[in-house]
Amino acid sequence: MTSALKAYAVRLLPQAAALAVILVMVSLAFPGFFRLEMQNGRLYGSLVDILNRGAPVALLAIGMTVVIATKGIDLSVGAVMAICGAVAAACITSGHGLATTLLITLATGILCGLWNGILVAVLDIQPIIATLVLMVAGRGIAQLVTEGAILTFNDPGLIFIGSGALLGLPMPVVIWLAFGIAVALLVRRTALGMLIEALGVNRRAATLSGVSTGVLLIAAYMLSGLCAAIAGIIAAADIRGADANNAGLWLELDAILAVVVGGTSLLGGRFSIAASLIGALIIQSINTGILLSGFPPEFNLIIKAAIIVMILIIQSPRAQSAFAFLSRPRAEDGKTEQEAK
Amino acid sequence: MQPDSSHVLSATGIDKIFPGARALNRVDFSLHRGEVHALLGENGAGKSTLVKCLTGAYARDGGRIVLDGADIDPQSTLEAQNLGIGTVYQEVNLLANLTVAENLFLGRQPRRFGLVSARKMNRRAKALLAEYDLDIDVTAGLAAYSVAVQQVVAIARAVDLSGKVLILDEPTASLDAHEVAMLFRIVRRLRERGLGIVFITHFLEQVYEISDRITVLRNGGLVGTRATADLPRRELIAMMLGRELVQEVAGGHGARGEAGDVRFRFRGFGRKGHIQPFDLDICAGEVVGIAGLLGSGRTETAEILFGAERADSGTAQADGRALDLSSPRAAIREKFGFCPEDRKVDGIVGDLSVRENIALALQARRGWARPISRGEQDQLADRYIKALDIRTSDREKPIRLLSGGNQQKAILARWLATNPDFLILDEPTRGIDVGAHAEIIRLIESLCEKGMSLIVISSELEELVAYSSRVIVLRDRAHVAELTGSAVTTDGIVEAIAASAGRVEA
């Protein structure tokens, strides 16, 4: 068990180190960065802000990690956020209760995932094309639901999800942390993680070994849809309205980036939800950090790109083998010692 | 060892170290002009690594390579090619979508006014291939020709480009006997022209047929270099394995006595376009061999028995109970197992560890909600790594880094872990070395003794004869003959294939 724990720590080390470096850099440019304050039973501070603002991408990254592990990709999550935000707003304004609204919205997200999953698993359409359909059509559907306007609402329960606090933390933070831990436990405490990795590496070999690859694939896209639904509710609750045009716009790319920064290969196979979540935090820290450091906003995207390129270079196979070379002497000593015994 | 003038190529003290493993340890290798030199060893012995060091595909970590009396240090296969060392691999490294002539002259097409002159190129290609007794349409796409012809084209290109040393890496692996004979004629002619030829193969008969000298590697070290004529087969095998094998192939076990009652009964089982309906009975503790030429429906038979392709006619029963074989998953629930022919594509899950590959089928059968704990997985993997002698530095190594024979054993372990009643092995010994080969045959026999029912598909007839109590002969996607008892001999099988061929043609 300790060796498994150690392997886990080693896996997360590059992402955790990158996050730490970025946070330290931001704190140098903005001295009050690490300050946390308790007001009215709720934490305030830049760090909390990062956790809070990063909620939609973090949620999307959870589902995206699993989809990418199956050697797929889900481009539709941003559009599904818009659909789900619209559905939530439409339900609550037409007089449904909070519980009904949430259930219908989550079901909508799962349904969107089911659609993607069937296209990929049953019809064997390439994931990038299959999910492109809903990416394009999704915003149209969302506009149909909101009838072209920004649909605002005043339900305190729904608003609480976007701006309330629980245990001193903003609700969105509580939600993505809890959901992330739940999904991570689900895949790692059961055999799902291993079966998904086998499916992602070699679908045919997995099928011949008795893995229900079709069901697993569909389930992965349904999970991604569910994540997008939760993210959509949070985004809508945050602005107290559903904006079919802008909710979740381009967030699918941030989610993919978070997964890649988290070290999960787009070729499928090995994945780590925790690493993807750190990846999402890295992206949000960069966003927040650039704003706090007072750079002119026009530099934001370029600085963000430069930092991400650096992280990707550190993770590239070439750099990895260079690191392996640098740490080789020690590793070999250890081995010969063992062999001598 | 000093290089002398009769050596076209001599390598001394070659070292190659990979992180955590020493792949070559001070290996010496020398090649005369005009000889065929067989390079032998089990999988993982270091043959490929040595060849890659010679051709510059790997940078060596020590030693020197002398070609024609001059030290060389090729940094790439291209540089080695220009120096005179050409290589032809088992999977032909040519471009199937280009024409034969284009493949021969790729990168050095004859030009006229700066443009490629197709006419000149085709004429020269034709002349070049005529030296190999190959009279084919050089303007046709390479893909139109058989692997054997492609191989000759690859050799022609390599010899034309390099001309001193030709390395053939398992050139005969996918050729039939007739094609092998054609290839050997060409190899002999090149030998007469004074080329030094390195020949890597797993077929010992071919080694004795064509090679002049033999170098054996084991575990990255040199065991010895001997003249073929002075090296009896048994001794060669002992050199390769480092131990005396009781018998190379466990020949003579022959058709075993009457097995018990019929356990699995298939009636009219078939699928349109794949395999015609057939009847098949298998007892507990019985090995049924399946023989036939390539494309005769061997793999198709395995696939419908396992549900990888759904049967559209017939019934399957075990001990009188109807079986559900509608998918691999269903078949596994009925305690079936299947080791597919194409290990890399259908068998291994390359990036996952040996442990996970072994646990995969058992885990899939238990379902995702009942995970095999890490401790149990470790035990399972360790048990089979030990029992089947799977050579890996540890169980967490990604399986794609193992040699072919060890991958095959791990896939076998995956099925044995599910404790199957019925196991289908499709070419279990293809492309693996002599040692693992003998071990797998021994394993088949011991599984059979434990009461498992096995179907084994193999193109190696001696092997089939050794362990099968019955052999079914296939042709044109139909089961055409069944040999039992004393009729199970290699001659008998060949005759059955030929006879049924005659009958169909008549």
Nearest-Cα distance to chain A for B256, in Å, is 31
With beta carbons less than 8 A apart as the criterion, state whether B103 and B125 touch. no
The per-residue pLDDT for B376 is 93
Question: For position A18, what pLDDT does the model report?
Answer: 86
For chain B, what is the mean pLDDT? 83
- The predicted structure's pLDDT at residue B56: 86
In B33-134, beta strands by DSSP E? 35-40, 62-67, 70-72, 85-88, 111-112, 115-116
DSSP secondary structure string, A16-50?
A: HHHHHHHHHHHHHHSGGGG--EEETTEEESHHHHH
For the cut 70, the answer to whether the pLDDT of residue B250 exceeds it is no
In A, minimum Cα distance to B326 occurs at: A210
Q: Which residues numbered 235-274 in B keep a CB inside 8 Å of some CB on A? A: none
pLDDT 10s digits, B356-395: 999 999 999 998 889 999 999 999 999 999 888 888 888 9
pLDDT greater at residue B267 or residue B5: B267
Q: Is A302 exposed, middle or buried (0-12, 13-18, 19+ CB in 10 A)?
A: exposed
SS3 per residue for B485-496: HHHCCHHHHHHH
- To the nearest 10 degrees (0 to 180), the angle between helices A171-189 and A46-53 is 60
Residues A285 and A23: beta-carbon distance below 8 Å: yes
The dihedral through the CA atoms of A286, A288, A291, A297 has a sign that is positive
* CATH topology classification for A45-312: ABC transporter involved in vitamin B12 uptake, BtuC (1.10.3470)
Contacts of B452 (CB under 8 A, 6+ apart): B284, B285, B420, B421, B422, B423
What confidence score (pLDDT) does residue B431 get? 67
Query: Between A304 and A231, where is the model more confident?
Result: A231
Give residue-wise pLDDT tens across range B94-125: 787 888 888 888 877 777 777 777 888 888 88
Residue B295 has pLDDT above 80, yes or no: no
Residue B91: its pLDDT value, please? 66
Band of pLDDT at residue B5, cut at 50, 70 and 90: low
To the nearest whole Å, the CA of A200 is away from the closest chain B CA by: 9
Asked if B368 lies within 8 A of A324 by C-beta distance, the reply is no
Query: What is the DSSP-derived secondary structure letter of residue B99?
Result: B
CA distance B368 to chain A (A): 5
Tell me the domain boundaries of chain A: 45-312
CB A285 within 8 Å of CB A261: no
Which string of b and e fits B158-190 if b means at least 16 CB within 10 Å?
bbbbbbbbbbbbbbbebbeeebbebbbebbeeb
Report the SS3 class of residue B209.
helix
Mean pLDDT of A311-327: 74
* CB proximity B433 to A under 8 Å: no
> Is A87 in contact with A104 (CB distance < 8 Å)?
yes
* Cβ proximity of B427 and B458 under 8 Å: yes
The yes/no answer to whether this complex scores an ipTM above 0.85 is no
Q: Residue A150: is its pLDDT beyond 80?
A: yes
B310: which chain A residues are within 8 Å (Cβ-Cβ)? none
Q: Which residue has the higher pLDDT, A64 or B343?
A: A64
Cα-based distances in Å from A53 to A231, A238, B374: 11, 10, 37
Chain B residues within 8 A of A204 when measuring between CB atoms: 345-346
Q: pLDDT tens across A240-265, in order?
A: 988 888 888 889 999 999 999 898 88
Q: Are strands B453-457 and B422-426 parallel, antiparallel or unpaired?
A: parallel
Q: Find, in chain A, the residue whose alpha carbon is nearest to that of B329.
A: A210
Q: Over the stretch B123-180, which tens digit does the pLDDT of each residue have?
A: 888 888 888 878 888 888 888 887 778 888 888 888 888 788 999 888 877 777 778 8
Residue B306, SS3 per DSSP: helix
CA of B371, closest CA in chain A: separation in Å? 5
Burial class of A164 by CB neighbour count within 10 A (0 to 12, 13 to 18, 19+): middle
pLDDT of residue B337: 93
- Residue A329 predicted with pLDDT over 60: no
Give percent above pLDDT 90 in chain A: 51
Classify residue B196 by burial, with Cβ atoms within 10 Å: 0-12, 13-18, 19+: buried
Low-confidence winner among A104-108, B195-199, B419-423, B426-430 (lowest mean pLDDT): B426-430
* CA-angle at A69, arms to A68 and A75, nearest 5°: 10
Cα–Cα nearest to B99, from B145, B141, B146: B141
Give the span between the Cα atoms of B166 and B395, in whole angstroms: 38
Mean per-residue pLDDT over chain A, rounded: 87
Whether residue A280 has pLDDT greater than 80: yes
B306 CB burial (10 A radius; 0-12, 13-18, 19+): buried
Residue A294: CB atoms within 10 A of its CB come to 9
CB-CB contact of B55 with B80 (8 Å): yes
pLDDT over 50 at A330, yes or no: no
Q: What is the predicted pLDDT for the residue at A8? A: 80
CB contact under 8 A, A210 and B340: no
Bridge partners of B474, per DSSP, are B292, B479
By the 8 A CB rule, do B253 and B467 touch? yes
Structure tokens that stand for B181 in this block = 């004979």
- H-only helix segments in chain A: 2-29, 46-53, 55-69, 77-93, 98-117, 127-146, 156-163, 171-189, 192-201, 203-208, 213-239, 251-261, 273-292, 300-315, 317-326, 328-340
Residue B21: per-residue pLDDT: 66
Question: CA end-to-end span of chain B, whole Å?
Answer: 63
Q: Return the pLDDT at A85.
A: 94
The structure tokens listed for B374 are 């890490």
Q: Which residues of A touch B328 (CB under 8 A)?
A: 207-210
**Residue (of B175, B161, B151, B199) closest to B80 by Cα position:** B161
> Residue A2's pLDDT is what?
65
In this structure, of A190-194, B29-33, B210-214, B458-462, the range with the lowest mean pLDDT score is B458-462
Contacts of residue B358 in chain A, CB cutoff 8 Å? none
Tens of pLDDT, residue by residue over B76-87, are: 888 888 888 888
**Claim: this prediction has a pTM higher than 0.90:** no
Contact B128, B160 (CB under 8 A): yes
Q: How confident is the model at residue B401 (pLDDT cuts 50, 70, 90)?
A: confident
Catalogue all structural domains in chain B, each as residue range(s) with its CATH number: 7-241 (3.40.50.300), 245-335+421-506 (3.40.50.300), 345-419 (no CATH)
Contact B329 A210 (CB under 8 A): yes
Q: Are A190 and B369 within 8 A, CB to CB?
A: yes
- Read off the pLDDT of residues A188-209 as tens digits, 9 standing for 90 and up: 999 999 999 999 999 999 999 9
Quickly state the pLDDT bin for A86 (edges 50, 70, 90). Answer: very high
Percent of chain B with pLDDT over 90: 24
Count of alpha carbons within 13 angstroms of residue A289, beta-carbon side: 22
CB-CB: which of A189, A201, A212 is closest to B349?
A: A201
In the three-class reduction of DSSP (H, G, I as helix; E, B as strand; rest coil), residue B219 is classed as: coil
pLDDT of amino acid A336: 38
CB contact under 8 A, B367 and A192: no
DSSP string for B180-198 = HHHHHHHHHHHHHTT-EEE
Written as six digits, the tokens of B376 are 């149990």
Structure tokens at B437: 């080969």
